[in-house]
Structure 1
Amino acid sequence: MSLTSENNKRIAKNTGMLYVRMLLMMCVTLYTSRVVLEALGVEDYGINNVVAGFVSILGFYTSSLSNAAQRYLSLGLGQNNHEMTVAGFRQCFTLMLVISVLIFFLGETIGLWFVCNKLVIPPERLSAAIWLYQFALISMTCSINQVSFVAVIIAREKMNFYAYLGLLEAFSRLAVAYVLIIARSDLLILFGALTAISSVLSFSLYVWYCRKSFDECVCKMYWNAPLVKEMSGFIGYNLFGCFAWSAGIQGVNILLNLFFGPLVNAARAVAVQISAAVSRFTDSIMTAVKPPIIKSYSSGNVKYMIMLIEKSSKYSFMLACLIVFPVLFETELVLHLWLGKVPEYAVVFTRLVLCEQLVGVLVPPLWIAANATGNIKNSQVFGRLFTLSVLPISYFLLFYIKNPALPMILLVIAQIGYWLYNLYDIHRQVQLDLSHYFRRVILPSTLLVSIVYLIGEILQSSFSPSLLRLIVMGCCMLLAVVFVFLIMSEPSERDFVRKMIKKKF
């Protein structure tokens, strides 16, 4: 059996495992979101959204460090260099620990001042918001220090434990929601405390598993000046990119709070939950293909890397369409079935974040390729200026256009610009053939969008809104995805899927 065939089977197996994890997590998350919204109320739910979003801005660098950790670990494993792998883990572990302490200090000083003096929070809920903020800082600290251990698991492609622990995290959130139903204390404070406990438990399990399973997971302080210098350029560019993304995305939450108050934040939080559910579908593919993309570049197999970029882009978009378009056409019904009482602006916010998500699924394969080459300056600095520009432009326009949907419209436009810029950048770096990308990714995606949009319009004009129409629309979308796959996929892809189905059934 060829190495490429073995890699494809391993990717398919890991993707399947991650999809089981994702489906269960999505169901649990959507249910708990409804319970938490009902328990907290719209105002407290909005306060939780804006406070948690502000803490996310403080921890904007987490993603950049995660990318660095996964890259250096995958490179070491791809080159079978155990010494490089150990050094990469220990250096990332040390950096995470030091920076988490610094950011915790920053959060307890400047961050706390901002929450108390700048965010729009009703005076009677300020004390609860401060407690929530403290617990959110604890959760963020755990998430930061967890990054090195998650990176090892993904680089090692041990998706079974990753899936199991993800399910445990989901069911812990379910337990938190249940406690909120029966509790009689201040539910906003209780929610923050229980979430922090869940984060500490998750972090502890990641540390235990990695130290037990992988030799490179040595949890000791380590400083290798040449390695830090090499990593600093990569991390620095990634750091700016993550800051720009966090400022653009989470900054929208703060702008909505400043201009419209916490009730609009609640609508934004609902929309983000829907978007997160969609992203879990595509994230499963990205998590599975990220190590092979980096390892294939490390071993000099650029042709295979480009093939993975194109296929993961195409399949991610197909899966996103399968979820996005039924919800786009039936947003009011879906939110009503999910929440019962739908916050104002939640419908339009949901549609806009889904459009942003649909474009966004085409980006990760491209920036994973940039991470593999190490040339991320264009993607993370110049490319992320599209996202960062949303914040000042929105701030200026909201003084004249009092429409809370405006920042999200700009985010959709910024996402399109970011995707096209990344596509051109990877074309220059690894000679990705744009005409081939058009035939293998853009053409099938455009065909699928045209078909599912036509199906949605026909069903909407033929049937009145109902659960039955939603189910029929979902089934038709599935048939459309299968149809496009059959006519636009290569014979080897169809043969691979056929063999996988036969093997399972």
Structure 2
Amino acid sequence: MTNQTSENNKRIAKNAVFLYARMLLSIIVSLYTSRIVLQTLGVEDYGIYGVVGGVVSMFTFLNSAMSGATSRYLTFEMGKGNESRLKETFSTAFIIHIGIAVAIFIIAETVGLWFLCNKMVIPEGRMLAAHVVYQCSVIGMFFTITQVPYSAVIVAHEKMDIYAYVELLNVGLKLAIVYVLLVLNWDKLIIYSILMLLVSISISLIYRFYCTRHYKESHLTLVLNKQIMKPMLNFSTWNMLAECGYAFRVHGSNIVLNMFFGTIVNAAGGIATTVQGILLGFVSNVVTAVRPQIIGNYSRGDLSRMNNLMLSSIRLNLFLVGVLTIPMYVDAPYVLKLWLGNVPTYCVDFCRLLLIAIFITSVSQIVTIGIHASGKLRQTSIVRNIIYILTPIIIYIVLKIKLQNPVIGYVIIVLSQMIVCLTDIYILHINIPQIKCLSIFVDYVKTFITAAIIVCVVSGLNENRQTTFLTVCVNFIVEWALLFIAFWAFIFERYEKDMIKSSLTTLFKKITEE
């Protein structure tokens, strides 16, 4: 291993540590605040917050598309080392995001508002609160969209420690919101929506201040370089198709379930999505840490390093997914009961299905970076768009014809994500033949089989036992031990094992010296 590669690996590890610290804070606070918010707002208001905010999110696919393009081109230009080009890229991206924010604001205040008033199933007497939630979501969306170029600059510079520091403030403010909800005796849904908006705006402004103070390229000059804008818009156009389909799948599926089963099912789905977001966000730290170097290696033509980094990242992500999701899957009823107290109907089933989806998404995240690095998004965008758009339509048809069970909707969502992952792996192979896509597929299958076997073994051992805190802790230890043995024996490569041994040895020496 060269000195440069070693330094890059250390930087990735350091960034991952900061991101994990950030996520750990988010997990602890999210687990606590979700329980209190659910109990304080009630199931109906919690469902309203999730589904009404989702209507606004449906219109943010333009922003998601440009976010990928901005991150890709800023990182690419940084890899090339052209500072003037980098500054023009940032300014061009910011102007485009302003245009997107204005366009989505207009759509949200016309089409979205009409949909809220005429098609959403909102409990009687809660329409005013639903409108407040909606308008707060629209305003928050505007700040989120224009924040994207600044976040991309921080990631491109691999300054992940900033995320950890700002998260300290973020979790503190969210804890303060919980306290306010418990103290004030007014419409708590309205209070919650307004305070969450203020927190979102505050965090956004902090990131902008940091970037403008530390990075020259983020000093806005309002320069619109057409040579940069054209490929960026071309990239984002194809990315937009996939993001549009994804937004339609996620929020369209929620709306379909709302039409058939009301806000109670949306509340269960909201809890399940929160669990998925927490766990997926934790493993996604690997993605954020390696993204700049994967794209940077492609821009420099170092495809061998890019291949090794992608494969190792996928294996690490799959291992972390197993560590987090297998215990949660086995003991979901007990954990949710301990966490929430009153578990909404269908919540356990929804959680388990979305935990399976995390295994799939963790692979897709790394594969997508490779596709984005190549800049060739046409094929994957078309395929993803078709699959995503068909998903809520299929859910609607199935529920309308025969199966009046909301669980079937989540089964269809998981299957659609699996198809997307497999097609992405194949398309990556077409775009960059040097990437060993067969190895990605093999690692994915091995991990899925391993997880299924562990779940079956542990579930079988506990079939006639009463679930207690002690049995859950024992289950965790057994599951983690089996997973580590399986990965060490069948999935991790030799150089990855050597790296793990070296890291553990270094850590042990530091501990003993202290």
Structure 2 length as normaliser, TM-score? 0.95
Quick check: 2:89–2:225 contact (8 Å CA) kept in 1? no
**What secondary structure, in the 3-state scheme, does the structure 1 residue paired with 2:78 have?**
helix
Partner residue in 2 for 1:7:
8
Q: Judging changes above 3 Å, is the alpha-carbon distance between structure 1 residues 78 and 465 closer, same or farther for their aligned structure 2 residues?
A: same
Counterparts of 1:396-407 in structure 2 under 5 Å? Answer: 396-400=397-401, 401-407=403-409
Rounded to whole Å, the distance in 2 between the matches of 1:181 and 1:120 is: 27
Counterparts of 1:227-376 in structure 2 under 5 Å? Answer: 227-376=228-377
Counterparts of 1:110-129 in structure 2 under 5 Å? Answer: 110-129=111-130
1:290-348 residue CA offsets vs partner (Å, 9 max, x unmatched): 11110000000111111122111111111111111111111111110010011111111
Q: Percent identity?
A: 34
Partner residue in 2 for 1:497:
500
Deviation at 1:454, TM superposition (A): 3.9
Deviation at 1:195, TM superposition (A): 0.6
Deviation at 1:462, TM superposition (A): 5.5
Give the counterpart letter for 1:279 in structure 2: L
Partner residue in 1 for 2:197:
196
Give the counterpart letter for 1:86 in structure 2: K
Rounded to whole Å, the distance in 2 between the matches of 1:388 and 1:477 is: 37
Give the counterpart letter for 1:84 in structure 2: R
Rounded to whole Å, the distance in 1 between the matches of 2:452 and 2:130 is: 46
Give the counterpart letter for 1:445 in structure 2: T
Could you tell me which of 485, 488, 509 is aligned with 1:486? 488
Counterparts of 1:418-433 in structure 2 under 5 Å? Answer: 418-431=420-433, 432-433=435-436
| CA RMSD of superposed structures (Å) | 1.5
Question: How many residue pairs end up in the alignment?
Answer: 504
Q: Judging changes above 3 Å, is the alpha-carbon distance between structure 1 residues 442 and 354 closer, same or farther for their aligned structure 2 residues?
A: closer
Rounded to whole Å, the distance in 2 between the matches of 1:184 and 1:309 is: 52
Give the counterpart letter for 2:457 in structure 1: I
Counterparts of 1:386-397 in structure 2 under 5 Å? Answer: 386-397=387-398
Deviation at 1:466, TM superposition (A): 1.5
Give the counterpart letter for 1:109 in structure 2: T
**What secondary structure, in the 3-state scheme, does the structure 2 residue paired with 1:216 have?**
helix
Q: Judging changes above 3 Å, is the alpha-carbon distance between structure 1 residues 397 and 301 closer, same or farther for their aligned structure 2 residues?
A: same
Quick check: 1:74–1:155 contact (8 Å CA) kept in 2? yes
Partner residue in 1 for 2:466:
464
Quick check: 2:242–2:385 contact (8 Å CA) kept in 1? yes
Give the counterpart letter for 1:501 in structure 2: L
**What secondary structure, in the 3-state scheme, does the structure 2 residue paired with 1:124 have?**
coil
Partner residue in 1 for 2:49:
48
Quick check: 1:444–1:484 contact (8 Å CA) kept in 2? no
**What secondary structure, in the 3-state scheme, does the structure 2 residue paired with 1:119 have?**
coil
Rounded to whole Å, the distance in 2 between the matches of 1:261 and 1:470 is: 33
Partner residue in 2 for 1:414:
416
**What secondary structure, in the 3-state scheme, does the structure 2 residue paired with 1:463 have?**
coil
Rounded to whole Å, the distance in 1 between the matches of 2:241 and 2:444 is: 29
Rounded to whole Å, the distance in 2 between the matches of 1:438 and 1:139 is: 39
**What secondary structure, in the 3-state scheme, does the structure 2 residue paired with 1:123 have?**
coil
Deviation at 1:418, TM superposition (A): 0.5
Rounded to whole Å, the distance in 1 between the matches of 2:452 and 2:49 is: 38
Quick check: 2:173–2:199 contact (8 Å CA) kept in 1? yes
Moved more, 97-106 or 268-277: 97-106
Quick check: 2:283–2:320 contact (8 Å CA) kept in 1? yes
Deviation at 1:495, TM superposition (A): 2.2
Give the counterpart letter for 2:436 in structure 1: D
**What secondary structure, in the 3-state scheme, does the structure 2 residue paired with 1:61 have?**
helix
Give the counterpart letter for 1:489 in structure 2: F
Deviation at 1:6, TM superposition (A): 1.2
Moved more, 300-309 or 33-42: 300-309
Rounded to whole Å, the distance in 2 between the matches of 1:158 and 1:315 is: 21
Rounded to whole Å, the distance in 2 between the matches of 1:173 and 1:222 is: 37
Rounded to whole Å, the distance in 2 between the matches of 1:219 and 1:178 is: 38
Give the counterpart letter for 2:274 in structure 1: Q
**What secondary structure, in the 3-state scheme, does the structure 2 residue paired with 1:363 have?**
helix
Deviation at 1:73, TM superposition (A): 0.7
Q: Does 1:130 align with 2:131?
A: yes
Partner residue in 1 for 2:206:
205
Partner residue in 1 for 2:186:
185
**What secondary structure, in the 3-state scheme, does the structure 2 residue paired with 1:403 have?**
coil
Deviation at 1:438, TM superposition (A): 4.5
Rounded to whole Å, the distance in 1 between the matches of 2:415 and 2:448 is: 18
Quick check: 1:75–1:298 contact (8 Å CA) kept in 2? yes
Rounded to whole Å, the distance in 2 between the matches of 1:243 and 1:495 is: 43
Deviation at 1:444, TM superposition (A): 4.3
Give the counterpart letter for 1:411 in structure 2: I
Partner residue in 2 for 1:83:
84
Moved more, 221-230 or 455-464: 455-464
Give the counterpart letter for 1:22 in structure 2: M
Rounded to whole Å, the distance in 2 between the matches of 1:437 and 1:371 is: 17
**What secondary structure, in the 3-state scheme, does the structure 1 residue paired with 2:125 have?**
helix
Quick check: 1:459–1:473 contact (8 Å CA) kept in 2? no
Partner residue in 2 for 1:436:
439
Moved more, 463-472 or 261-270: 463-472
Rounded to whole Å, the distance in 1 between the matches of 2:325 and 2:294 is: 27
Quick check: 1:21–1:166 contact (8 Å CA) kept in 2? yes
Structure 1 gap ranges (5+)? none
Give the counterpart letter for 2:424 in structure 1: N
Q: Does 1:381 align with 2:382?
A: yes
Deviation at 1:498, TM superposition (A): 2.5
Q: Judging changes above 3 Å, is the alpha-carbon distance between structure 1 residues 417 and 339 closer, same or farther for their aligned structure 2 residues?
A: same
Q: Judging changes above 3 Å, is the alpha-carbon distance between structure 1 residues 221 and 20 closer, same or farther for their aligned structure 2 residues?
A: same
Deviation at 1:161, TM superposition (A): 0.3
Quick check: 2:428–2:437 contact (8 Å CA) kept in 1? no
Give the counterpart letter for 1:167 in structure 2: L
